């Protein structure tokens, strides 16, 4: 059984006043800071819950580029560009957290080999060793599929379940409840 309650005007005015006293931007800012922290921790942990490890080829390439272990071997953290591009913005009653980097969606969702179509790539002149002989290769244009290999999804723009509890606790502390 239930009854329909009609609140008196005085009570409705009181509730409207209480609601108006709440500063939604402050609450959004509190939540935004905690969500931002959760996303940054995804990078620091090398993926939460788990991201696919770097391939042997990627690790080898980074070593030949002069990088040895450290942050250059953290997944999705090479220059720090993606991690440092994450922004938090409040517009009206909406909280936005994101990045403007075009390649971010590919890392978030992954991509299959060739799913971006075929691209023309300029190859610089170089030398190769073929059958023990040095061969000079002229600069040329080569068509290849993009990406040239599968890119696994590494969802970095996500809040971990345990972090939602922290967000709610922080807001409760602000509201003294």
161-175 and 24-44 helices, crossing angle to 10°: 150
113 close to 149: Cβ distance less than 8 angstroms: yes
**Can you tell me the distance from the alpha carbon of 42 to that of 25, in angstroms, rounded to the nearest whole number?**
25
* Look-up of token digits 């994450």: 86
The tens digit of pLDDT for each residue in 96-131 reads 888 999 888 998 899 999 899 999 999 999 999 999
101 close to 76: Cβ distance less than 8 angstroms: no
pLDDT at 120: 93
pTM tops 0.85, yes or no:
no
pLDDT at 12: 80
The C-alpha angle 34, 39, 42, rounded to 5 degrees, equals 130
pLDDT < 70 stretches in the chain: 1-7, 18, 21, 66-75, 78-79
**Residue (of 172, 112, 121) closest to 147 by Cα position:** 112
């Amino acid at each position: 059984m239930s009854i329909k309650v009609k609140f008196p005007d005085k009570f409705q005015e009181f509730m409207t006043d209480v609601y108006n006293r709440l500063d939604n931007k402050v609450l959004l800012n509190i939540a935004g800071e905690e969500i931002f922290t959760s996303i940054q921790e995804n990078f620091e942990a090398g993926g939460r819950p788990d991201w696919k490890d770097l391939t042997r080829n990627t690790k080898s390439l980074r070593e030949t580029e002069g990088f040895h272990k450290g942050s250059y071997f953290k997944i999705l953290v090479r220059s720090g560009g993606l991690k440092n591009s994450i922004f938090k913005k409040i517009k009206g009653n909406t909280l936005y957290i994101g990045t403007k980097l075009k390649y971010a969606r590919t890392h978030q969702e992954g991509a299959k080999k060739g799913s971006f179509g075929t691209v023309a790539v300029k190859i610089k002149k170089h030398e190769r060793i073929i059958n023990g002989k040095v061969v000079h290769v002229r600069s040329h244009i080569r068509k290849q599929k993009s990406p040239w290999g599968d890119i696994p999804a590494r969802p970095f723009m996500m809040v971990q379940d345990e972090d939602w509890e922290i967000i709610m606790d922080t807001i409760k502390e602000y509201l003294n409840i």
